[in-house]
Amino acid sequence: MSIAHNVRELIKELPAEVDLVAAAKTRSPAEALEAVDAGVKKIGQNYINEAERSYDVIGERADWHFIGRLQRNKIGRIVKIFDIVETLDSVELAEILDRECALANKLMPVLVEINSGQEAQKSGIMAEQVLSFVNRISPLKHIKILGLMTMGPVAENPEAYRPFFRLTRDLFDTLKKLELERVEMRYLSMGMTDSYKVAIEEGANIVRIGSKIFGPRG
C-alpha cells in the first residue's frame, strides 16, 4: 500500500480529538511530503539533519514535532524549525532551550518525557520526580509546558504497554488538577504503530506513528 493510502486509512480510523504525528525518522523528504499531501498535519523528527532536509521541501505546510533525544549543541537549530519539543527531561537542557528561544524571540511548547518503565538506560523523568522537575522549569519564560510524553518499555504484546500509559495518564491528571502557573496539561503523547490503540484507550491525544504510514524501515 502507498503512503498516501496508509495516511488516509489512519485518519479515518483515529478519533477526531487525537492528533496524528507521522514519525519520519530515516524517511526521505519525498516520503514525508507524500504523507503531508495525503493529509498529515504534523511531522515528527528525531534528528535535526533529517528534519532540515524535509523542512526545505515541506516548510510550514506541517507542524514539526521534535521526538528525539535533545542534544545541547543542536538546540539552536531545533528552535529554528520545530513547533513543539516532546522530549524534555533535563533542567540543563530546558535552560539552554529557553535561552535559544529567547534569542529567536520564540515561545516553545514542550512536553515532559516520562520514563514510565523506570528503565535506567532510557531518557525521561521518573514518575516520583515529575512534580519537582515541572516546578523547576515552569518559571522559564520562553518555554511552556503543555503536557507529557512517554514511550514505555518495548514489548511485543500491545497490552503490555497499558500500565505504563496508565501511569503517565495518572501523572497528567495529577498535574492538571494542581493548576500550576505557566503549566497547561493539554497534550498526552503516547503510542506508536504497535501500541497506539491501547494508548488512545488510556487517554492519549497525540500518537506518533511511523511504520504503519511509511512501511518497515529498510
pLDDT for the residue 214: 98
Write out the H or E segment, with its range, that includes residue 166.
Answer: helix 162-178
pLDDT for the residue 1: 85
Q: How many domains, the chain? A: 1
Average pLDDT over residues 155-161: 95
Domain of 156 in residue numbering reads as 3-214
pLDDT tens-digit series, residues 70-116 = 999 999 999 999 999 999 999 999 999 999 999 999 999 999 999 99
Cα 6 from chain centre: 21
Look up residue 41 and give its three cell numbers: 498535519
Return d(Cα 161, Cα 154) in angstroms, integer.
8
Give yes or no for a contact between 150 and 122, defined as CB atoms under 8 angstroms apart.
no
- Whether the per-residue pLDDT at 196 is higher than 80: the answer is yes
Structure confidence at residue 203 as a pLDDT band (50, 70, 90): very high
Residue 166: give its domain's CATH number: 3.20.20.10
Q: How much of the chain exceeds pLDDT 90, in percent? A: 96
- Whether the per-residue pLDDT at 52 is higher than 90: the answer is yes
- Whether the per-residue pLDDT at 209 is higher than 80: the answer is yes
- Whether the per-residue pLDDT at 157 is higher than 90: the answer is yes
Cα angle at 11 between 7 and 16, to 5 degrees?
A: 160
- Whether the per-residue pLDDT at 121 is higher than 90: the answer is no
Mean pLDDT of the chain: 97
Structure confidence at residue 217 as a pLDDT band (50, 70, 90): confident
- Whether the per-residue pLDDT at 20 is higher than 80: the answer is yes
In the block, cell 504510514 appears at 213
Write out the H or E segment, with its range, that includes residue 14.
Answer: none
Cα angle at 156 between 152 and 162, to 5 degrees?
A: 45
